[in-house]
Structure 1
Amino acid sequence: MQRHPQEAAINRLVLWNVDLTLVDVAIVTRDAYAEAFRFVTGRPLVKLVPPMGRPDSEIVFETLAVNGVQAEDDHLPKFLSALAVAFADRRGRLAKEGRMMPGAKDALKAVSRLDGVIQTVLTGTIKSNAVHKLKAFGLDKHVDFALGGYGEEVYPKATLLQVAQSRAKQRLGTPFTAANTVVIGDSTRDVQAAKIGGAAMIGVASGRSMAAELRDAGADVVLPDLSNASEVVAAVASLTAPAGRAVL
Protein backbone atom coordinates (compact mmCIF):
# COMPACT_ATOMS: atom_id res chain seq x y z
CA MET A 1 0.00 0.00 0.00
CA GLN A 2 1.29 3.44 -0.86
CA ARG A 3 2.34 5.50 2.18
CA HIS A 4 2.65 9.26 2.36
CA PRO A 5 4.05 10.97 5.45
CA GLN A 6 2.43 14.26 4.41
CA GLU A 7 -0.84 13.16 2.88
CA ALA A 8 -2.19 16.73 2.89
CA ALA A 9 0.31 17.48 0.10
CA ILE A 10 -1.19 14.86 -2.23
CA ASN A 11 -2.71 16.61 -5.22
CA ARG A 12 -2.53 14.09 -8.08
CA LEU A 13 -4.74 11.01 -8.28
CA VAL A 14 -3.77 8.25 -10.73
CA LEU A 15 -6.23 5.41 -11.32
CA TRP A 16 -5.01 2.31 -13.13
CA ASN A 17 -7.12 -0.20 -14.99
CA VAL A 18 -5.95 -3.73 -14.12
CA ASP A 19 -6.65 -6.30 -16.85
CA LEU A 20 -4.59 -5.87 -20.04
CA THR A 21 -3.17 -2.61 -18.69
CA LEU A 22 -1.10 -4.01 -15.81
CA VAL A 23 -1.65 -7.80 -16.02
CA ASP A 24 -3.20 -10.50 -18.20
CA VAL A 25 -4.63 -13.43 -16.22
CA ALA A 26 -7.52 -14.37 -18.50
CA ILE A 27 -7.06 -18.16 -18.22
CA VAL A 28 -7.28 -18.17 -14.43
CA THR A 29 -10.19 -15.72 -14.48
CA ARG A 30 -12.20 -17.93 -16.83
CA ASP A 31 -11.61 -20.99 -14.65
CA ALA A 32 -12.75 -19.06 -11.57
CA TYR A 33 -15.88 -17.90 -13.39
CA ALA A 34 -16.64 -21.48 -14.45
CA GLU A 35 -16.41 -22.71 -10.85
CA ALA A 36 -18.53 -19.83 -9.53
CA PHE A 37 -21.15 -20.41 -12.23
CA ARG A 38 -21.41 -24.10 -11.36
CA PHE A 39 -21.64 -23.32 -7.64
CA VAL A 40 -24.48 -20.81 -8.13
CA THR A 41 -26.49 -22.58 -10.85
CA GLY A 42 -25.54 -26.24 -10.53
CA ARG A 43 -24.75 -26.25 -14.25
CA PRO A 44 -21.51 -26.14 -16.24
CA LEU A 45 -20.52 -22.84 -17.81
CA VAL A 46 -20.89 -23.03 -21.60
CA LYS A 47 -20.17 -19.44 -22.58
CA LEU A 48 -18.47 -16.60 -20.71
CA VAL A 49 -19.18 -13.20 -22.20
CA PRO A 50 -16.02 -11.22 -23.12
CA PRO A 51 -15.04 -8.60 -20.53
CA MET A 52 -14.64 -5.69 -22.97
CA GLY A 53 -13.91 -3.34 -20.07
CA ARG A 54 -17.14 -4.20 -18.25
CA PRO A 55 -17.41 -4.70 -14.46
CA ASP A 56 -17.75 -8.17 -12.96
CA SER A 57 -21.29 -7.30 -11.83
CA GLU A 58 -22.33 -6.71 -15.45
CA ILE A 59 -20.45 -9.75 -16.76
CA VAL A 60 -22.24 -11.97 -14.23
CA PHE A 61 -25.71 -10.92 -15.38
CA GLU A 62 -24.84 -11.26 -19.06
CA THR A 63 -23.17 -14.63 -18.50
CA LEU A 64 -26.25 -15.93 -16.71
CA ALA A 65 -28.42 -14.70 -19.59
CA VAL A 66 -26.37 -16.19 -22.45
CA ASN A 67 -26.32 -19.51 -20.62
CA GLY A 68 -30.09 -19.51 -20.27
CA VAL A 69 -30.28 -18.78 -16.54
CA GLN A 70 -32.97 -16.41 -15.31
CA ALA A 71 -31.28 -14.03 -12.87
CA GLU A 72 -32.74 -13.90 -9.37
CA ASP A 73 -32.25 -11.34 -6.63
CA ASP A 74 -29.61 -13.34 -4.80
CA HIS A 75 -27.66 -14.46 -7.87
CA LEU A 76 -25.28 -11.49 -8.03
CA PRO A 77 -24.08 -11.52 -4.39
CA LYS A 78 -23.80 -15.32 -4.44
CA PHE A 79 -21.88 -15.28 -7.73
CA LEU A 80 -19.47 -12.53 -6.67
CA SER A 81 -18.81 -14.29 -3.35
CA ALA A 82 -18.19 -17.59 -5.14
CA LEU A 83 -15.98 -15.82 -7.68
CA ALA A 84 -13.84 -14.35 -4.90
CA VAL A 85 -13.37 -17.79 -3.32
CA ALA A 86 -12.67 -19.52 -6.66
CA PHE A 87 -10.13 -16.88 -7.66
CA ALA A 88 -8.38 -16.94 -4.28
CA ASP A 89 -8.07 -20.72 -4.57
CA ARG A 90 -6.24 -20.21 -7.89
CA ARG A 91 -4.01 -17.30 -6.92
CA GLY A 92 -0.95 -19.55 -7.00
CA ARG A 93 -1.48 -20.00 -10.74
CA LEU A 94 -1.57 -16.29 -11.59
CA ALA A 95 2.16 -15.70 -12.07
CA LYS A 96 2.62 -19.08 -13.77
CA GLU A 97 -0.24 -18.91 -16.26
CA GLY A 98 -0.65 -15.14 -16.54
CA ARG A 99 1.73 -12.32 -17.35
CA MET A 100 2.60 -8.84 -16.27
CA MET A 101 2.16 -6.34 -19.07
CA PRO A 102 5.43 -4.90 -20.44
CA GLY A 103 6.80 -2.12 -18.26
CA ALA A 104 4.02 -2.26 -15.67
CA LYS A 105 6.23 -2.55 -12.58
CA ASP A 106 8.68 0.18 -13.62
CA ALA A 107 5.81 2.48 -14.63
CA LEU A 108 4.08 2.15 -11.26
CA LYS A 109 7.35 2.74 -9.43
CA ALA A 110 8.27 5.74 -11.57
CA VAL A 111 4.87 7.39 -11.22
CA SER A 112 5.01 6.89 -7.43
CA ARG A 113 8.04 9.21 -7.35
CA LEU A 114 6.13 12.07 -8.95
CA ASP A 115 5.47 14.90 -6.49
CA GLY A 116 2.08 14.79 -4.82
CA VAL A 117 0.85 11.58 -6.43
CA ILE A 118 -1.23 8.74 -5.03
CA GLN A 119 -2.06 5.67 -7.12
CA THR A 120 -5.02 3.33 -6.95
CA VAL A 121 -7.13 1.26 -9.36
CA LEU A 122 -10.31 1.79 -11.35
CA THR A 123 -11.28 -1.69 -12.45
CA GLY A 124 -14.20 -3.89 -13.34
CA THR A 125 -12.62 -6.62 -11.20
CA ILE A 126 -13.97 -7.16 -7.69
CA LYS A 127 -11.63 -5.80 -5.03
CA SER A 128 -10.28 -9.05 -3.59
CA ASN A 129 -9.42 -10.36 -7.05
CA ALA A 130 -7.80 -7.08 -8.11
CA VAL A 131 -5.54 -7.32 -5.06
CA HIS A 132 -4.62 -10.93 -5.88
CA LYS A 133 -3.85 -10.02 -9.49
CA LEU A 134 -1.43 -7.24 -8.60
CA LYS A 135 0.17 -9.00 -5.64
CA ALA A 136 0.96 -12.04 -7.77
CA PHE A 137 3.32 -9.90 -9.85
CA GLY A 138 4.59 -7.61 -7.09
CA LEU A 139 2.60 -4.66 -8.43
CA ASP A 140 0.78 -3.80 -5.20
CA LYS A 141 3.58 -1.87 -3.47
CA HIS A 142 2.67 1.53 -4.89
CA VAL A 143 -1.12 1.07 -4.98
CA ASP A 144 -3.56 2.28 -2.32
CA PHE A 145 -6.41 -0.19 -2.74
CA ALA A 146 -8.63 1.57 -0.21
CA LEU A 147 -9.27 4.45 -2.61
CA GLY A 148 -10.15 2.47 -5.73
CA GLY A 149 -13.32 1.64 -7.62
CA TYR A 150 -14.21 -2.03 -8.11
CA GLY A 151 -16.49 -4.41 -9.98
CA GLU A 152 -18.71 -5.41 -7.05
CA GLU A 153 -19.84 -1.80 -6.71
CA VAL A 154 -22.82 -1.76 -9.05
CA TYR A 155 -22.13 1.52 -10.81
CA PRO A 156 -21.00 2.46 -14.31
CA LYS A 157 -17.25 2.91 -14.48
CA ALA A 158 -17.61 6.70 -14.80
CA THR A 159 -19.50 6.73 -11.50
CA LEU A 160 -16.85 4.47 -9.94
CA LEU A 161 -14.29 7.10 -10.93
CA GLN A 162 -16.25 9.74 -9.03
CA VAL A 163 -16.57 7.38 -6.06
CA ALA A 164 -12.77 6.98 -6.03
CA GLN A 165 -12.30 10.76 -6.24
CA SER A 166 -14.69 11.18 -3.31
CA ARG A 167 -12.82 8.58 -1.25
CA ALA A 168 -9.53 10.32 -1.96
CA LYS A 169 -10.96 13.72 -1.02
CA GLN A 170 -12.39 12.35 2.21
CA ARG A 171 -9.05 10.85 3.19
CA LEU A 172 -6.68 13.51 1.89
CA GLY A 173 -8.75 16.69 2.02
CA THR A 174 -7.95 17.55 -1.61
CA PRO A 175 -10.72 17.96 -4.19
CA PHE A 176 -9.99 15.68 -7.16
CA THR A 177 -11.31 16.80 -10.52
CA ALA A 178 -10.45 16.51 -14.20
CA ALA A 179 -7.54 18.87 -13.53
CA ASN A 180 -5.68 16.55 -11.17
CA THR A 181 -7.06 13.05 -11.83
CA VAL A 182 -5.70 10.66 -14.48
CA VAL A 183 -7.05 7.30 -15.61
CA ILE A 184 -4.63 4.87 -17.30
CA GLY A 185 -6.32 2.09 -19.26
CA ASP A 186 -6.39 0.06 -22.45
CA SER A 187 -10.00 0.23 -23.68
CA THR A 188 -12.32 2.79 -25.19
CA ARG A 189 -14.62 2.11 -22.22
CA ASP A 190 -11.85 3.39 -19.95
CA VAL A 191 -11.64 6.53 -22.08
CA GLN A 192 -15.38 7.05 -21.94
CA ALA A 193 -15.40 6.59 -18.17
CA ALA A 194 -12.65 9.19 -17.78
CA LYS A 195 -14.36 11.70 -20.03
CA ILE A 196 -17.77 11.30 -18.38
CA GLY A 197 -16.52 10.90 -14.83
CA GLY A 198 -14.13 13.84 -14.88
CA ALA A 199 -10.51 12.83 -15.41
CA ALA A 200 -7.69 13.07 -17.91
CA MET A 201 -6.98 9.87 -19.82
CA ILE A 202 -3.83 8.02 -20.83
CA GLY A 203 -4.70 5.28 -23.29
CA VAL A 204 -2.37 2.28 -23.49
CA ALA A 205 -2.67 0.27 -26.72
CA SER A 206 -1.77 -3.01 -25.02
CA GLY A 207 -5.15 -4.63 -24.82
CA ARG A 208 -8.66 -4.31 -26.12
CA SER A 209 -8.37 -1.16 -28.25
CA MET A 210 -5.94 0.03 -30.90
CA ALA A 211 -4.12 3.35 -30.58
CA ALA A 212 -6.34 5.01 -33.19
CA GLU A 213 -9.48 3.85 -31.38
CA LEU A 214 -8.21 5.28 -28.11
CA ARG A 215 -7.43 8.61 -29.76
CA ASP A 216 -10.79 8.74 -31.50
CA ALA A 217 -12.53 8.03 -28.20
CA GLY A 218 -10.86 11.11 -26.71
CA ALA A 219 -7.74 9.92 -24.85
CA ASP A 220 -5.49 12.87 -24.00
CA VAL A 221 -2.34 10.80 -24.45
CA VAL A 222 -1.89 7.42 -26.17
CA LEU A 223 1.11 5.16 -25.53
CA PRO A 224 1.88 1.86 -27.29
CA ASP A 225 2.52 0.19 -23.89
CA LEU A 226 4.09 0.98 -20.51
CA SER A 227 7.63 0.00 -21.44
CA ASN A 228 8.93 3.59 -21.40
CA ALA A 229 8.40 4.64 -17.78
CA SER A 230 9.63 8.17 -18.41
CA GLU A 231 6.90 8.66 -21.02
CA VAL A 232 4.27 7.49 -18.56
CA VAL A 233 5.55 9.89 -15.90
CA ALA A 234 5.72 12.77 -18.39
CA ALA A 235 2.13 12.10 -19.45
CA VAL A 236 0.85 12.04 -15.87
CA ALA A 237 2.80 15.18 -15.01
CA SER A 238 1.55 17.11 -18.04
CA LEU A 239 -2.07 16.14 -17.48
CA THR A 240 -2.02 17.19 -13.82
CA ALA A 241 0.13 20.30 -14.16
CA PRO A 242 -1.39 23.43 -12.53
CA ALA A 243 -1.05 25.38 -15.77
CA GLY A 244 -3.28 22.93 -17.60
CA ARG A 245 -2.96 19.99 -19.91
CA ALA A 246 -0.66 19.32 -22.78
CA VAL A 247 -1.73 16.64 -25.24
CA LEU A 248 1.20 14.42 -26.24
Structure 2
Amino acid sequence: MLWNIDLTLVDVAIVTRDAYAEAFRAVTGRPLVKLVPPLGRPDSEIIFETLAVNGIVAEDGHLPAFISALATAFADRRKRLPKEGRALPGARDALKAVARLDGVVQTVLTGTIKGNAVLKLQAFGLDKYIDFELGGYGEEVYPKATLLQVAQGRAKARLGTPFTAANTVVIGDSARDVQAAKIGGAAMIGVASGRSMEAELRAAGADVVLPDLSNASEVVAAVAGLTSPVVARGPVSPAS
Protein backbone atom coordinates (compact mmCIF):
# COMPACT_ATOMS: atom_id res chain seq x y z
CA MET A 1 0.00 0.00 0.00
CA LEU A 2 1.33 3.39 -1.03
CA TRP A 3 0.28 6.57 0.76
CA ASN A 4 0.47 10.06 -0.63
CA ILE A 5 1.75 12.36 2.13
CA ASP A 6 0.76 16.01 1.68
CA LEU A 7 -2.94 16.67 2.34
CA THR A 8 -3.53 12.93 2.70
CA LEU A 9 -1.62 12.27 5.93
CA VAL A 10 -0.23 15.69 6.91
CA ASP A 11 -0.47 19.37 6.09
CA VAL A 12 2.84 21.22 6.43
CA ALA A 13 2.39 23.71 3.59
CA ILE A 14 3.70 26.77 5.47
CA VAL A 15 7.01 25.14 6.34
CA THR A 16 7.35 23.67 2.86
CA ARG A 17 6.91 27.06 1.20
CA ASP A 18 9.49 28.66 3.49
CA ALA A 19 11.96 25.88 2.68
CA TYR A 20 11.37 26.36 -1.04
CA ALA A 21 11.98 30.11 -0.68
CA GLU A 22 15.29 29.55 1.08
CA ALA A 23 16.38 26.89 -1.42
CA PHE A 24 15.49 29.15 -4.35
CA ARG A 25 17.57 31.98 -2.92
CA ALA A 26 20.48 29.64 -2.19
CA VAL A 27 20.52 28.29 -5.75
CA THR A 28 19.73 31.45 -7.75
CA GLY A 29 20.83 34.29 -5.50
CA ARG A 30 17.38 35.84 -5.94
CA PRO A 31 14.26 35.97 -3.74
CA LEU A 32 11.40 33.64 -4.64
CA VAL A 33 8.50 35.61 -6.10
CA LYS A 34 6.17 32.81 -7.13
CA LEU A 35 6.03 29.14 -6.11
CA VAL A 36 3.95 27.06 -8.49
CA PRO A 37 1.16 25.06 -6.81
CA PRO A 38 2.01 21.39 -6.09
CA LEU A 39 -1.14 19.89 -7.64
CA GLY A 40 0.12 16.40 -6.80
CA ARG A 41 3.32 16.84 -8.81
CA PRO A 42 6.82 15.69 -7.80
CA ASP A 43 9.32 18.18 -6.39
CA SER A 44 11.50 17.73 -9.49
CA GLU A 45 8.69 19.08 -11.69
CA ILE A 46 7.78 21.85 -9.24
CA ILE A 47 11.42 22.98 -9.14
CA PHE A 48 11.72 23.28 -12.92
CA GLU A 49 8.41 25.16 -13.22
CA THR A 50 9.25 27.45 -10.30
CA LEU A 51 12.55 28.35 -11.90
CA ALA A 52 10.76 29.10 -15.18
CA VAL A 53 7.98 31.29 -13.74
CA ASN A 54 10.60 33.28 -11.85
CA GLY A 55 12.60 33.93 -15.00
CA ILE A 56 15.44 31.46 -14.41
CA VAL A 57 16.63 29.40 -17.36
CA ALA A 58 17.20 25.91 -15.99
CA GLU A 59 20.69 24.49 -16.40
CA ASP A 60 22.02 20.97 -15.83
CA GLY A 61 23.14 21.68 -12.28
CA HIS A 62 19.99 23.42 -11.09
CA LEU A 63 17.94 20.35 -10.16
CA PRO A 64 20.53 18.54 -7.99
CA ALA A 65 21.54 21.84 -6.38
CA PHE A 66 17.93 22.76 -5.65
CA ILE A 67 17.10 19.31 -4.24
CA SER A 68 20.12 19.49 -1.94
CA ALA A 69 19.25 23.01 -0.82
CA LEU A 70 15.59 22.06 -0.30
CA ALA A 71 16.59 19.10 1.88
CA THR A 72 18.84 21.33 4.00
CA ALA A 73 16.27 24.13 4.30
CA PHE A 74 13.50 21.73 5.28
CA ALA A 75 15.66 19.90 7.83
CA ASP A 76 16.56 23.26 9.38
CA ARG A 77 12.82 23.87 9.91
CA ARG A 78 11.84 20.41 11.16
CA LYS A 79 11.13 21.67 14.69
CA ARG A 80 8.43 23.92 13.24
CA LEU A 81 6.52 21.04 11.69
CA PRO A 82 4.46 19.94 14.73
CA LYS A 83 3.82 23.58 15.67
CA GLU A 84 2.83 25.00 12.29
CA GLY A 85 1.63 21.81 10.60
CA ARG A 86 -0.75 19.03 11.51
CA ALA A 87 -1.50 15.38 10.98
CA LEU A 88 -4.83 15.13 9.21
CA PRO A 89 -7.78 13.70 11.15
CA GLY A 90 -7.58 9.93 11.47
CA ALA A 91 -4.16 9.58 9.83
CA ARG A 92 -2.50 7.80 12.74
CA ASP A 93 -5.42 5.45 13.40
CA ALA A 94 -5.73 4.61 9.70
CA LEU A 95 -2.04 3.74 9.40
CA LYS A 96 -2.19 1.67 12.57
CA ALA A 97 -5.33 -0.17 11.46
CA VAL A 98 -3.96 -0.98 8.01
CA ALA A 99 -0.77 -2.27 9.67
CA ARG A 100 -2.90 -5.00 11.27
CA LEU A 101 -3.84 -6.45 7.89
CA ASP A 102 -1.90 -9.61 7.16
CA GLY A 103 0.57 -9.26 4.32
CA VAL A 104 0.27 -5.49 3.93
CA VAL A 105 3.43 -3.40 3.68
CA GLN A 106 2.90 0.36 3.86
CA THR A 107 5.12 2.80 2.01
CA VAL A 108 4.70 6.15 0.28
CA LEU A 109 4.15 7.43 -3.24
CA THR A 110 4.89 11.11 -2.91
CA GLY A 111 6.09 14.11 -4.83
CA THR A 112 8.22 15.01 -1.82
CA ILE A 113 11.92 14.21 -1.86
CA LYS A 114 12.76 11.27 0.37
CA GLY A 115 14.50 13.06 3.22
CA ASN A 116 11.68 15.56 3.57
CA ALA A 117 9.06 12.81 3.34
CA VAL A 118 10.65 11.09 6.33
CA LEU A 119 10.75 14.33 8.33
CA LYS A 120 7.11 15.13 7.56
CA LEU A 121 5.92 11.83 8.97
CA GLN A 122 8.42 11.72 11.86
CA ALA A 123 7.10 15.08 13.10
CA PHE A 124 3.76 13.45 13.90
CA GLY A 125 4.91 9.94 14.84
CA LEU A 126 3.60 8.43 11.61
CA ASP A 127 6.92 7.16 10.29
CA LYS A 128 6.83 3.97 12.40
CA TYR A 129 4.23 2.45 10.07
CA ILE A 130 6.12 3.15 6.83
CA ASP A 131 8.81 1.20 4.97
CA PHE A 132 10.55 4.14 3.29
CA GLU A 133 12.91 1.97 1.24
CA LEU A 134 10.07 0.76 -0.98
CA GLY A 135 8.58 4.14 -1.84
CA GLY A 136 8.65 6.52 -4.79
CA TYR A 137 9.93 10.07 -4.24
CA GLY A 138 10.10 13.52 -5.78
CA GLU A 139 13.82 13.63 -6.53
CA GLU A 140 13.34 10.75 -8.97
CA VAL A 141 12.68 12.54 -12.26
CA TYR A 142 9.61 10.61 -13.32
CA PRO A 143 5.89 11.31 -13.49
CA LYS A 144 3.99 9.87 -10.55
CA ALA A 145 2.67 6.89 -12.54
CA THR A 146 6.24 5.86 -13.30
CA LEU A 147 7.22 6.41 -9.66
CA LEU A 148 4.50 3.91 -8.77
CA GLN A 149 6.05 1.32 -11.09
CA VAL A 150 9.49 2.05 -9.64
CA ALA A 151 8.10 1.41 -6.14
CA GLN A 152 6.42 -1.81 -7.31
CA GLY A 153 9.76 -2.94 -8.71
CA ARG A 154 11.46 -2.26 -5.39
CA ALA A 155 8.79 -4.22 -3.57
CA LYS A 156 9.12 -7.15 -5.97
CA ALA A 157 12.90 -7.20 -5.52
CA ARG A 158 12.51 -7.21 -1.73
CA LEU A 159 9.46 -9.43 -1.31
CA GLY A 160 9.66 -11.64 -4.39
CA THR A 161 6.05 -10.97 -5.42
CA PRO A 162 4.93 -9.26 -8.64
CA PHE A 163 2.78 -6.21 -7.84
CA THR A 164 -0.22 -5.31 -9.97
CA ALA A 165 -3.58 -3.60 -9.55
CA ALA A 166 -4.75 -6.77 -7.79
CA ASN A 167 -2.39 -6.35 -4.86
CA THR A 168 -1.27 -2.69 -4.95
CA VAL A 169 -3.32 0.15 -3.48
CA VAL A 170 -2.58 3.87 -3.67
CA ILE A 171 -4.33 6.29 -1.33
CA GLY A 172 -4.23 10.01 -2.08
CA ASP A 173 -6.18 13.24 -2.15
CA SER A 174 -5.91 14.49 -5.74
CA ALA A 175 -7.25 13.56 -9.15
CA ARG A 176 -3.62 13.44 -10.25
CA ASP A 177 -2.98 10.69 -7.68
CA VAL A 178 -5.92 8.77 -9.14
CA GLN A 179 -4.57 9.14 -12.66
CA ALA A 180 -1.12 7.95 -11.57
CA ALA A 181 -2.62 4.85 -9.95
CA LYS A 182 -4.71 4.01 -12.98
CA ILE A 183 -1.81 4.47 -15.42
CA GLY A 184 0.80 2.85 -13.19
CA GLY A 185 -1.26 -0.22 -12.34
CA ALA A 186 -2.81 0.02 -8.88
CA ALA A 187 -6.19 0.18 -7.21
CA MET A 188 -7.02 3.64 -5.88
CA ILE A 189 -8.61 5.02 -2.72
CA GLY A 190 -9.35 8.72 -3.05
CA VAL A 191 -9.59 10.83 0.10
CA ALA A 192 -11.31 14.22 -0.21
CA SER A 193 -9.06 15.85 2.40
CA GLY A 194 -7.05 18.06 0.09
CA ARG A 195 -6.91 19.12 -3.51
CA SER A 196 -9.93 17.37 -5.01
CA MET A 197 -13.59 17.04 -4.07
CA GLU A 198 -15.24 13.64 -3.79
CA ALA A 199 -16.95 14.09 -7.17
CA GLU A 200 -13.61 14.91 -8.84
CA LEU A 201 -11.98 11.81 -7.38
CA ARG A 202 -14.82 9.63 -8.61
CA ALA A 203 -14.73 11.23 -12.06
CA ALA A 204 -10.99 10.59 -12.26
CA GLY A 205 -11.64 6.88 -11.68
CA ALA A 206 -10.96 6.23 -7.99
CA ASP A 207 -12.16 2.76 -6.97
CA VAL A 208 -13.25 3.98 -3.53
CA VAL A 209 -13.73 7.55 -2.32
CA LEU A 210 -13.73 8.53 1.37
CA PRO A 211 -14.40 11.98 2.82
CA ASP A 212 -11.31 11.71 5.04
CA LEU A 213 -9.39 9.18 7.15
CA SER A 214 -11.40 9.69 10.33
CA ASN A 215 -13.06 6.26 10.12
CA ALA A 216 -10.25 3.71 10.26
CA SER A 217 -12.68 0.83 9.74
CA GLU A 218 -13.72 2.32 6.40
CA VAL A 219 -10.10 2.61 5.33
CA VAL A 220 -9.39 -1.01 6.27
CA ALA A 221 -12.54 -2.19 4.50
CA ALA A 222 -11.54 -0.30 1.37
CA VAL A 223 -8.05 -1.81 1.35
CA ALA A 224 -9.40 -5.30 2.03
CA GLY A 225 -12.01 -4.93 -0.69
CA LEU A 226 -9.43 -3.93 -3.29
CA THR A 227 -6.87 -6.64 -2.55
CA SER A 228 -6.97 -10.40 -2.19
CA PRO A 229 -6.25 -12.15 0.03
CA VAL A 230 -6.06 -9.81 3.00
CA VAL A 231 -6.62 -11.22 6.49
CA ALA A 232 -6.53 -9.15 9.69
CA ARG A 233 -3.95 -9.98 12.35
CA GLY A 234 -4.45 -9.61 16.04
CA PRO A 235 -3.82 -6.36 17.90
CA VAL A 236 -0.42 -4.75 17.57
CA SER A 237 1.39 -2.37 19.85
CA PRO A 238 1.35 1.35 18.95
CA ALA A 239 4.99 1.07 17.94
CA SER A 240 4.39 -1.72 15.44
- For this structure pair, what is the TM-score category when the shorter chain's length is used for normalisation? over 0.9
1:35 is aligned with what amino acid? Answer: E
Once residues 147 and 59 of structure 2 are traced to their aligned partners in structure 1, the CA distance between those partners, rounded to angstroms, is 24
The code of the aligned residue for 1:113 comes to R
Q: For residue 62 of structure 2, what is the aligned residue in structure 1?
A: 75
Match of 1:86 in 2: 73
Partner of 1:181: 168
Counterpart of 2:141 in structure 1 is 154
Partner of 1:30 in structure 2? 17
User: Is 2:85 the partner of 1:121?
Assistant: no
Within 2, Cα distance between the matches of 1:141 and 1:172? 19
Please state how far the C-alpha of 1:116 moved relative to its aligned partner.
0.7
One-letter amino acid matched to 1:41:
T
**What is the CA RMSD across the aligned residues, in angstroms?**
0.8
Displacement of 1:241 in angstroms is 2.1
Count matched residues. 230
What is the rounded CA distance, in whole Å, between the counterparts of 2:131 and 2:33 in structure 1?
36
Q: Give the Cα–Cα distance (whole angstroms) in 1 for the partners of residues 63 and 214 of structure 2.
A: 37
- 1:197 and 2:184 are equivalent in the alignment: yes
Partner residue of 1:232? 219
Describe the superposition over 1:72-114 as per-residue Cα deviations: whole angstroms up to 9, x where unpaired.
1100000000000000000000000001111000000000000
Matching of residue 172 in structure 1 with residue 170 in structure 2: no
The one-letter code sitting in structure 1 at the alignment partner of 2:4 is: N
**What does residue 198 of structure 2 align with?**
211
* Aligned mates of 1:99, 1:242 — CA distance in 2: 34
SS class of match (2:8): coil
* Residue in structure 1 matching 2:46, options 59, 63, 67: 59
Amino acid of the residue matched to residue 210 of structure 1? M
Alignment of 1:12-51 (within 5 A): 14-51=1-38
Distance 2:26 2:129 in 1: 35
User: What whole-Å deviation, never above 9, does each CA across 1:132-173 have from its counterpart, x for those lacking one?
Assistant: 000000001110000000000000100000000010000011
**Runs of 4 or more consecutive aligned structure 1 residues displaced over 6 Å after TM superposition:** none
2:209 is matched with 222
Match of 2:236 in 1: none
Amino acid at match of 1:87: F
Question: Which consecutive unaligned segments of at least 5 residues does structure 1 have?
Answer: 1-13, 244-248
- How many Å separate the matches in 1 of 2:38 and 2:143? 14
Amino acid at match of 2:191: V
Matched, 1:111 2:98: yes
In structure 2, what is the Cα distance between the partners aligned to 1:54 and 1:166?
21
Task: Give distance in 2, aligned partners of 1:161 and 1:119.
Answer: 13
**How far apart in 1 are the matches of 2:156 and 2:23?**
35
Normalising by the residue count of structure 1, what TM-score does the alignment of the two structures yield? 0.92
Residue 83 of structure 2 is aligned to residue 96 of structure 1: yes
Give the letter for the 1:129 counterpart.
N
For 2:37 and 2:67, the matched residues in 1 are separated by 17
Q: Tell me how far apart the structure 1 counterparts of residues 59 and 198 of structure 2 sit (CA, whole Å).
A: 40
AA at the equivalent of 2:29? G
Letter in 2 for 1:62: E
- Using the TM superposition, give the Cα deviation of residue 115 of structure 1 relative to its aligned residue in structure 2, in angstroms: 1.0
What is the identity, as a one-letter code, of the residue corresponding to 2:72? V
Query: Secondary structure at the residue paired with 1:28?
Result: helix
C-alpha distance in structure 2 between counterparts of 1:151 and 1:39, whole Å:
20
Q: Which residue of 2 aligns with 1:10?
A: none
